[in-house]
Structure 1
Amino acid sequence: MGSPELHFLGHSTVRVELAGRTVLTDPVLAPTIGALRRVVPLPDPAAWAGVDLVLISHLHGDHLHIPSLRMLGRDVRVLVPRGAGAWLRGRGFPNTRELSAGETLSDGDLRITGVRAEHSGHRWGPRSTHGPATESLGYLLESPGAGTVYVSGDTGLFDGMAVLAARAVDVALLPVWGWGPSLGPGHLDPVTAADAVALIRPRVAVPVHWGTLTVAGMTVVPSPLRARMRRLLVDPPRSFATEVAARGLPTRVVVTEPGSRVLLPPPPSLAAA
């Protein structure tokens, strides 16, 4: 049995190499996104070169960032939640396809299934109706003999995650925070992300959606929030690992700094060899 190769580029952007395909999740490759500023170095362009497929979990600007998509080329193949295809094609990305939760498509030996996510699908967030209203999705990437990767996207905890336990998930990419001093609805924090691990039972969990973006000035301008925000750029994945261990779960948590290759433990078949 093989194993996927992963590179955490920051926030929810992960390069996944599986079944001979290179997949990029929710690409954010720029120094700024509106009022948000990147607080870690930009990824080397080599880290996002040669992408076969881009997965967009939902339409919020820190997950669907048009300037970052343009860096990948106008002809890049993009998979979006149902209802977003025409909107994105109208912005110059003709090779866009839609998927809903429960639907599957194949790209060579790679099988991609849409998975339900509990999160607002509006382009501008839960309190605004500007832009299309769509589903939010996670994705399950599967390849016989090469492993299964669950890309949750932004989501809150929900009981239906338990159905993924039957899919023998090798690696779960789970958000553990965000970009501000607090979280709105439809997000996982270190505690609820550990609860998700208890439902999904992946072999490995990789915390994402942390340590990359924050509101401009929040970590440098003196304020009551400065110290808290500095901690929140560092602590959530480690708190998540502690919570998983406290539950006695067999899942291995691999904390990976933004911009780094994910050092996955070998599959059991290789470890025993």
Structure 2
Amino acid sequence: MLMSKFHNPDKIKVPRSFWAVLKWKLTSPKPPVWPKKVIYTKDIPPSRVNDDSIRISSVGHAAFLIQHQGKNILTDPVWSNRVGPFNIGIKRVADVGIDFDMLPKIDFVLVSHNHYDHLDVATLKMLEKRDKPVFIVPVGNEKTLKRPMPNSKTESLNWYNSIAFADFKIHLIPSQHWSSRTPFDINKALWGGFIIESSKTQICFIGDTGYDKKMFEEIGHRFNNISFAILPIGCYEPRWFMEDVHMNPREALQAFLDMKAKFIIPSHFGIFQLADDGYNQALEDYEQSLKDLNINSSHLLKPGEFILKSSDLF
């Protein structure tokens, strides 16, 4: 039987109250103006990567195509032009990095939580119709998928539970966040991140999270072969309001160090204006933090860009 409410590892109470939201909107300076449209290149990925190499392509925001050992995996896929209920929410400023008709057949779709910029029903329905993938979600989110897609193959996991396939194992890991799609379902579905584990390596993906050193060190202790950590760096201002649920770039890099991963790929920046950080602020703060922390194992991917690493490099 599902819990009526889920909570964070240290029971940090989120989301903020209505009055805190009102304070943010009334007291913050006018948000920086983002560009209306940014043009990036488009990736045309291969149908499969059949060896031990890893190819990771940025679709934009928290959506990535991960190709490894013959499997195609999508994280938090959003091909819609807006994120929000009834498709009337915030408009994207950059198009997706892979056109949908150029997307190879998808085997697995990982959805980290139910916020509209991560769980986009329209996109999931397109994937279900075309590819019939396995959807893997935190507990409680299967209801959101099953309503529009009653015949979909959907698996739900609790933190540190896993599901095994022929060549892969998918683990759900904690994140410090919250969930809601309406005012009436706050924290009634779980949130989290994922570890994709193959015979060769582990890949970490977290859609949204605040910084919790103990949590990240525990993830690194349980999974000690993480080659790539895809971690969010944007949507973090004002700090007093966002710090419990969204890391800033320096915290994301510290989380990467806590987990002892080999490479970091930043996400969650430059697509949807969800907070008060400026368009380039996350990347500028990220680059400065890389220097401050003396980290040289970062792969920054803008939409349409990809990395391909052979197994001897990770």
Q: TM-score, normalised by structure 2?
A: 0.72
Q: Is the 8 A contact 2:236 2:247 kept in 1?
A: no
- Say if 2:154 is the partner of 1:108: no
Match of 2:218 among 156, 163, 166: 163
- Corresponding residue for 1:175? 232
Does the residue aligned with 1:154 lie in a helix, a strand or coil?
coil
What letter is aligned with 1:152? Answer: I
Structure 1 residues 2 and 235 mapped into 2: Cα distance closer, same or farther (>3 Å)?
Answer: farther
**1:117-138 C-alpha deviation (Å, 9 max, x unpaired):** 11002334xxx33377111110
Match of 1:73 among 97, 121, 128: 128
Mapping for residues 193-204 of structure 1, pairs under 5 Å: 193-204=252-263
Aligned length: 251
- Corresponding residue for 2:141? 84
Structure 1 residues 186 and 179 mapped into 2: Cα distance closer, same or farther (>3 Å)?
Answer: closer
- The structure whose residues are more often strand, as a share, is 1
Cα drift, residue 36 of structure 1: 0.7
Structure 1 residues 65 and 180 mapped into 2: Cα distance closer, same or farther (>3 Å)?
Answer: farther
- Corresponding residue for 1:51? 106
- Corresponding residue for 2:36? none
Structure 1 residues 246 and 47 mapped into 2: Cα distance closer, same or farther (>3 Å)?
Answer: farther
What letter is aligned with 2:149? Answer: G
Does the residue aligned with 2:246 lie in a helix, a strand or coil?
coil
- Say if 2:184 is the partner of 1:129: yes
Distance 2:112 2:267 in 1: 14
Distance 1:116 1:160 in 2: 7
- Corresponding residue for 1:218? none
Structure 1 residues 79 and 270 mapped into 2: Cα distance closer, same or farther (>3 Å)?
Answer: closer
Distance 2:133 2:236 in 1: 27
**1:55-93 C-alpha deviation (Å, 9 max, x unpaired):** 010001111011111221243321111112133212224
What letter is aligned with 1:164? Answer: I
Distance 1:48 1:23 in 2: 11
Match of 1:37 among 73, 91, 98: 91
- Say if 2:167 is the partner of 1:117: no
- Say if 2:118 is the partner of 1:63: yes
- Corresponding residue for 1:7? 57
Cα drift, residue 170 of structure 1: 0.3
Distance 1:96 1:270 in 2: 34
Structure 1 residues 207 and 79 mapped into 2: Cα distance closer, same or farther (>3 Å)?
Answer: same
Question: Over the residues paired in the alignment, what is the CA RMSD in angstroms?
Answer: 2.5
What letter is aligned with 1:244? Answer: L
Structure 1 residues 47 and 116 mapped into 2: Cα distance closer, same or farther (>3 Å)?
Answer: farther
**1:141-164 C-alpha deviation (Å, 9 max, x unpaired):** 01112x211001211111121123
- Corresponding residue for 1:240? 286
- Say if 2:251 is the partner of 1:192: yes
Structure 1, 87-96 or 16-25: larger mean CA deviation: 87-96
Match of 1:252 among 293, 297, 301: 297
Distance 1:40 1:179 in 2: 20
Gaps of 5+ in 2: 1-50
Cα drift, residue 47 of structure 1: 4.7
Structure 1 residues 179 and 91 mapped into 2: Cα distance closer, same or farther (>3 Å)?
Answer: farther
Q: Is the 8 A contact 1:179 1:214 kept in 2?
A: no
Distance 2:289 2:165 in 1: 36
What letter is aligned with 1:196? Answer: A
**1:92-140 C-alpha deviation (Å, 9 max, x unpaired):** 243211011111112221111110111002334xxx3337711111000
Q: Is the 8 A contact 1:18 1:110 kept in 2?
A: no
Cα drift, residue 238 of structure 1: 4.3
Distance 1:67 1:244 in 2: 36
Distance 1:137 1:197 in 2: 16
